[in-house]
Amino acid sequence: MRRSRIHVRILLTLKSSIVCSILVLLCLVDVSGTKGQAVAAEDFVPAEMDPVLAQAKRAVRLRDFEKAVALWEKAARRGHPRAQFRLGVAYRSGRGIEQDNTKAAHWFGKAAEAGDADARYALGKLYEGGRGVERNRDRAIELMGRAARSGHREAKQSLDRIQRSTSVAYSTADGRIAANRMNPRAALTQAIRIGDLGSARESLARGAPINGAPGDSKHWKPLILAIQQKNAEMVEFLLERGADPNRISRIGEPALILAIRSQESRIAHGLIAAGGNPAKRSLSGYTPLMEAARLGLGTVTRDLLVAGANPKTTLDDDTSAADIARRFGFNKIASRLRRAGAPILENAVSKNRLTLLESSQRGPGSEGITFLPPILEAARRGDAELIRELVANRASLTVTDSDGNGPLHRSAENGHSEATRALLNAGVPPDLPGRGAATPLLLAMASTSEGSEDVIAALIEAGADPGKRDHSSAGIIAYAASGATEKKLALVAAAEASWTDAEISQSLERAALSGQLDATRALLLVTPVSADRIAALCSAISAGQMKILDLLLSEELPIDRPCGVGRTALLMAVQTNQAEIVEKLLHVGANPNSAIETEDTALIAAASRGFTALVSTLIDSGADVSHRGAHRLTPLMGAASNGHIGIVETLLEAGADRGMRDEAGRTASDLADAAGYADIAEMIASHRAEWRIWFGSREPSP
């Protein structure tokens, strides 16, 4: 009996050990991460090292997700990458906390910065789908690429899929190839959006309707879209292919009116030459001649008169194009129009003016079309006298347009200082919020209209607060990206406006990206840290803004600092094969051997892509021909494995070490042979380094 009891105790002990082993294995399973994945050894945090994470794991096993989230948040705020990733997963799934992709992106970003591969992949997926962040395919590829290089299997699969995307707007492949896989109409629309004439030409050849499908009011008409994009070359191309210059936009505005409003004289000239009707009016009743007069476009005014525009045409209140030009301060244009026969109002405020303006809002044939209330139209035109007359007739000062903007917003964004003062004197609050909670001061800062500086002065005199922000928390410096001038910034600074270094850096970057030369120049004067200007430099390079680039390069910049997207300015220019920019950067001191996170240099990028001229330029500038990059690849290996025989020869002649091996132990000759380039493999194997052999071994390097 005693022996039996001993046997039972032994069995119980064994059973307990087995149970404990199973529990230990369960603790090692990553239950909240990607399905089927185990926690890496470096991610596992023993309880004695971080008891909070251990408690969170236990809470997950007990399905107490709210407690787990609270614990992850506690550790995440201490800077623990794995906890930050877990918290991001919770926000993304809504398990244990209210679902919020924006907060998920925030915590994934924190963990990704610390090198967490799962977080990089998860954040890349958010960027790919535009969930919680603005959709950005390039950023998605960058993040997934980093995760893939860390061995993340799902990231590798997603990266392969996303790089085969058929969308022109999101494809890194040649746009024309991607466009050929799309519906011809959709391909033409995408080609116009990205300004690819080649894709547009091929889309038309495949049957895309150049004037839009008949009866289609849903999609953009090609010519209207090209005008909205302010792409003169695309407009001219479409007109040459037979686009109707008298197309009407989806809201009923003639193409010629839109072209003039774009203030791109080349586009307007093209439509006039192609037969754009100079008599077609806008929804507000303006003729093309009146719009040109309002904007001070002298050459467009001349072309319209030559094309037969009638200068005697007036609005219902008897205002002519000459009156409009004079009202906006374009006296030379007003004189030209008067000589051409345009009438002039003897009395700026006629007795029937208000009645006529009101009746014009409900004229015959206006069903289904929304017109601006009189005071809004007067504010848009900058007609201070009419505003005063309307105020005297007790017109509502709180009326808004369909966007939520009132009269003061209309006058401010169009640079009408006198009209702005008239509205302020009538009692309109200077900080009245409009669309998206934007104030008149914010709109005036963003405006490029003549007179917007005086508008800002008037608003500040009336007590406008330069510290106001819109619904997206964008302040005065964010709006400065499009319309900043030295005087505007001085005015708001004197009114105690403030902004952070990060905010002004972002504004400078947006100004550079959109090619706003005046705004970029003004923002540079108030950007305190030269390092903050690198992002703007890279944006100018990516958008091909040469004038902005020259302006930035005239400043002192840490030229080799990364742009924040894993690339230096030089590497970005090389990857996009912009030889002129590469030479400019090297001329101001860019280091041809500076490497990014992957350790790839500009020469590796140029050699791998087959950019022969850039390879020579970089070598002449002192680039290291044997530098090791990602996976221990050299420029020679990159050129050899991609079949660029001329570059291989150039690198060998420059002294590239043919014996160096990659992380798998392969030489450049091995890589060329494996890729099917036997001639390159033979060239490398038979190359004689001549005198260079005396200065370094050509034996295989470790």
- Compute the average pLDDT of residues 233-246: 90
Residues 582-602 have pLDDT tens digits of 999 999 889 998 876 667 889
- The predicted pLDDT at position 215 comes to 63
Q: Which residue has the tokens 């754009």?
A: 276
Backbone φ and ψ of 254, nearest 5°? -65, 150
Distance, CA of 472 to CA of 218 (rounded, Å) = 29
The b-or-e profile of 525-552 (16+ CB within 10 A means b, else e) is ebbeeeebbbbbbbbbbbeebeebbebb
pLDDT level of residue 208 (50, 70, 90 thresholds): confident
Tokens of 270: 């093209």
Instruction: Identify the H or E element spanning 692.
Output: none
- The predicted pLDDT at position 523 comes to 92
Distance, CA of 321 to CA of 314 (rounded, Å) = 7
Residues 338-365 have pLDDT tens digits of 889 998 764 344 444 554 454 444 443 3
Q: Is residue 653 part of a domain?
A: yes
Instruction: Assess whether 50 and 127 both reside in one domain.
Output: yes
Instruction: Assess whether 580 and 634 both reside in one domain.
Output: yes
Instruction: Assess whether 25 and 47 both reside in one domain.
Output: no
- The predicted pLDDT at position 290 comes to 92
Distance, CA of 309 to CA of 332 (rounded, Å) = 18
Instruction: Assess whether 124 and 5 both reside in one domain.
Output: no
In this model, does residue 102 exceed pLDDT 80? Answer: yes
Instruction: Assess whether 688 and 541 both reside in one domain.
Output: yes
- The predicted pLDDT at position 11 comes to 45
- Compute the average pLDDT of residues 489-513: 90
Last residue of a domain, one of 116, 144, 164: 164
- The predicted pLDDT at position 364 comes to 39
Q: Is residue 624 part of a domain?
A: yes
Domain CATH code at residue 66? 1.25.40.10
Residues 537-547 have pLDDT tens digits of 888 888 888 99
Instruction: Assess whether 3 and 90 both reside in one domain.
Output: no
- Compute the average pLDDT of residues 199-205: 82
Q: Is residue 195 part of a domain?
A: no
Instruction: Assess whether 153 and 56 both reside in one domain.
Output: yes
Task: State which residues form the domain around 43.
Answer: 39-164
CB 225 within 8 A of CB 237: no
- The predicted pLDDT at position 564 comes to 62
Distance, CA of 426 to CA of 443 (rounded, Å) = 20
In this model, does residue 20 exceed pLDDT 50? Answer: no
Instruction: Assess whether 619 and 580 both reside in one domain.
Output: yes
For the chain, percent of residues with pLDDT exceeding 70: 81
Q: Which residue has the higher pLDDT, 15 or 552?
A: 552
Distance, CA of 304 to CA of 271 (rounded, Å) = 10
In this model, does residue 500 exceed pLDDT 90? Answer: no
CA angle (260 as vertex; 259, 266 as ends), nearest 5: 70
Query: Which whole-number Å values give the CA distances from 396 to 388, 390, 458, in the listed order?
Result: 12, 9, 22
Q: Is residue 335 part of a domain?
A: no
Residues in CB range of 700: below 8 A, 6 or more apart: 659, 660, 661, 667
Distance, CA of 132 to CA of 691 (rounded, Å) = 60
CB 437 within 8 A of CB 477: no
Contacts within 8 Å (CB) and 24+ apart, 632-637? 632/660, 632/661, 632/662, 632/663, 633/604, 633/662, 634/604, 634/660, 634/668, 635/601, 635/603, 635/604, 635/606, 635/607, 635/608, 636/607, 636/660, 636/668, 636/684, 637/662, 637/666, 637/667, 637/668, 637/671
Q: Is residue 9 part of a domain?
A: yes
Distance, CA of 623 to CA of 617 (rounded, Å) = 9
Last residue of a domain, one of 146, 164, 182: 164
Q: What is the SS3 assignment for 256-316? A: HHHHHHCCCHHHHHHHHHCCCCCCCCCCCCCCHHHHHHHHCCHHHHHHHHHCCCCCCCECC
Instruction: Assess whether 67 and 152 both reside in one domain.
Output: yes
Q: Is residue 147 part of a domain?
A: yes
Instruction: Assess whether 47 and 147 both reside in one domain.
Output: yes
Entry pTM: 0.50
Let me know how long the chain is: 702
Any bridge partners for residue 38, and if so which? 29
For the chain, percent of residues with pLDDT exceeding 90: 32
In this model, does residue 366 exceed pLDDT 50? Answer: no
Instruction: Assess whether 46 and 26 both reside in one domain.
Output: no
On the 0-12 / 13-18 / 19+ scale of CB atoms within 10 A, 441 is buried
Instruction: Assess whether 537 and 684 both reside in one domain.
Output: yes
Arithmetic mean of pLDDT over the chain:
80
Any bridge partners for residue 320, and if so which? 314
Composition of the chain by helix, strand, coil, percent to 5: 55, 0, 40
